[in-house]
Amino acid sequence: MSQRLVSGLVVAALAAIVLLPNLGGPPLWDEDEPRNAACSLAMQQTGDWIVPTFNGRLRVEKPALVNWLQLAGFAAVGVGEAGARLGSALLTLGTCLLTWRIGTLVFRPEAGVWAGVVMATCLWTGVTGRAATPDAPLAFFTTLAVWIFVRSAAAGGRLWNAPVRVPATTALGIGTACGLAMLTKGPVGLVLPLAAIGGFAFWQAAIDPGRQGPVMSRLVPATAAAWRGVRPLVIMAAAVAVAAPWYTLVTIRTDGAWLREFLLVHNAGRFAAPMEGHSGSTLLYYPLVVLVGFFPWSMASGLIGRHAVVALREQGTSAVGMRLVAAWVAAWVIPFSFAGTKLPGYIWPAYPAIACGIGLFLADWIARPTWSTDRWMRLAWSLLALAGVGLGIGLPLAVHRLAPGGEWIGLVGLVPLAGGFLASRFHAHSSRLAATGCWAATACGTIAILMAVGPVSLGRTGGTRHLLARLPAAGIAHPIGSYRAPASTAFYAGLIAAGGTVAELDDPADVVAFVANHPGAPLVVDSRFEEQVAAELPDHYHVLRAVTVLPESRELVLFGPRHAPQPLTQVATTPDRQSVFRHH
């Protein structure tokens, strides 16, 4: 078996361990997952794959490719959480493999393997790679665009020559990948990968030893050389050819409403000002996000950053590869740092580049250790062990507040605690490869357990899925009412409710009208409005079940007639809640 095949299998296996176990176990999370899944469910039920809708309304937040992936997942494993998340998990596995190949091509095989391992086993891969959102497809297609560029350049030896020259066929491939990224999340799918490749090409042209004169005098010629070398018009034309058919159809079908709101509100508006409370420091937000997202590899972040700076100053292939990494990271981090709205997932397409930088550091430390690096790596093992202690203490405290009974998840802290100790022992015996392998095993084990088991332990609180399990799984003849309930209600109710949608009720008068028109129909209500809604219900209605929905930690109640079937899992009604209904 070839070394290349073994390396690929190792990266794929680690990624699969993190991404695939218990994929359908936790209920759909937060607001984005259920909104995307409910939109996909509506496409499946109506047969309309062009116009995205959520609970019967036009959904303008995202293009449709994520929904097409989820429809494929529904066809493969059934309609549910696993089907909604399968496409993200598989594409993220693909992103890890592309990271391995890019690291191999721009640095060397050992660095590429470690880059793939880091990408496969960091925290944010476990979080977003398993999520039913567009982030995983966007990361895959933008990384694919960079890999197509790197593969072509490396094959012809052009990557290490200044200036960069991209063949027309390569530009078409890059544009195709960017077009798919545009179908995933809009213009950023083209603009930012092109900025990464163009920024690298400009950097290469600016330092071309064949150019004479001071640096400032080289800027205009370097810009012209980068423009000619990257062929941006060809890339843009290919991207538009891929994305334009759907954008044109959805614009026509919605009389321009979808395109107008998507571009003006969810692109320009999000960049100009914070939306939905998502803001943060221009300088600190994304560096902190990266430190958390690359846990537990970020234990040596200071050493990794210093190594990247040193590599940029050197001559040779490592410097060229690090320039590509730097341009790739800057293309994503700088624009979003200045955006009004900030979310951790916005810069996930830069993670493969950062993983390549970490991979080079690991390969160089193993092959060419220095006294200084060895000394600081001993600190990294201590930090890894301390992180285990922190998880062992912090997780039970957090879970006790959110979902009492799942405090045992704190045992996962034993993995980095033991990993830090073993890695330090291997390092003490001058086995740096074994120490780094122990680090990788610790990362894989910690993230895999957190992702496969952690959400399930939190899910003990119920969530909308458990709330609606009180109703017949085969479906009900009524619609389901929703009073200020979360987006997950639309997905889970859509699986069983008549018509596949929920009736969104905004005030007590709506409740009265809904129950009058649909006698016996169940209602999902935010508990903050429980008394207000209960006052409008007929005497035979009562609380069938109450659950807590995460991450908001808010309680939902299910109202229905007294003759409703017994719940699958009995949930005690609190004395305070019983008192609400005594007046009936």
pLDDT along the chain (584 residues), means of 10: 91 98 89 94 94 94 97 96 97 98 96 98 97 97 97 79 86 98 98 96 81 67 88 97 98 97 94 90 96 97 95 87 97 97 96 98 94 93 97 90 81 96 95 96 97 75 79 74 91 83 90 91 92 91 87 85 50 36 32
> Interhelix angle for 135-155 vs 168-185, to 10°?
170
CA distances from 499 to 160, 398, 435 (A): 59, 39, 57
The token duo for 378 is 């001993």
The token duo for 1 is 């078996």
**Where do we find the tokens 């530009």?**
171
Quote the distance between the C-alpha of residue 206 and its chain's center.
35
The whole-number pLDDT of residue 565 equals 44
Going by C-beta distance under 8 Å and a sequence separation of 6 or more, which residues neighbour residue 27? 81, 459, 463, 464, 465, 466, 488, 492
The whole-number pLDDT of residue 581 equals 33
CA distances from 189 to 51, 150, 523 (A): 20, 18, 40
Query: CA-CA distance, 581 to 584, in Å (whole number)?
Result: 6
**Where do we find the tokens 């062009």?**
50
The whole-number pLDDT of residue 162 equals 67
For residue 145, which of 196, 92, 109 has the smallest C-alpha distance? 196
Q: Which residue(s) pair with 545 in the sheet?
A: 558
Going by C-beta distance under 8 Å and a sequence separation of 6 or more, which residues neighbour residue 312? 319, 322, 323, 326
The whole-number pLDDT of residue 211 equals 59
The token duo for 502 is 């929920």
The whole-number pLDDT of residue 474 equals 57
The whole-number pLDDT of residue 584 equals 33
The DSSP annotation for 527-557 comes to: GGGHHHHHTTS-TTEEEEEEEEETTTTEEEE
Preceding amide of 551 cis, omega within 30: yes
Segment holding 125, helix H or strand E? helix 123-128
Segment holding 54, helix H or strand E? strand 53-54
The whole-number pLDDT of residue 473 equals 63
> Interhelix angle for 65-77 vs 135-155, to 10°?
100
| Domains of the chain, residue spans | 3-24+57-368, 382-461, 463-580
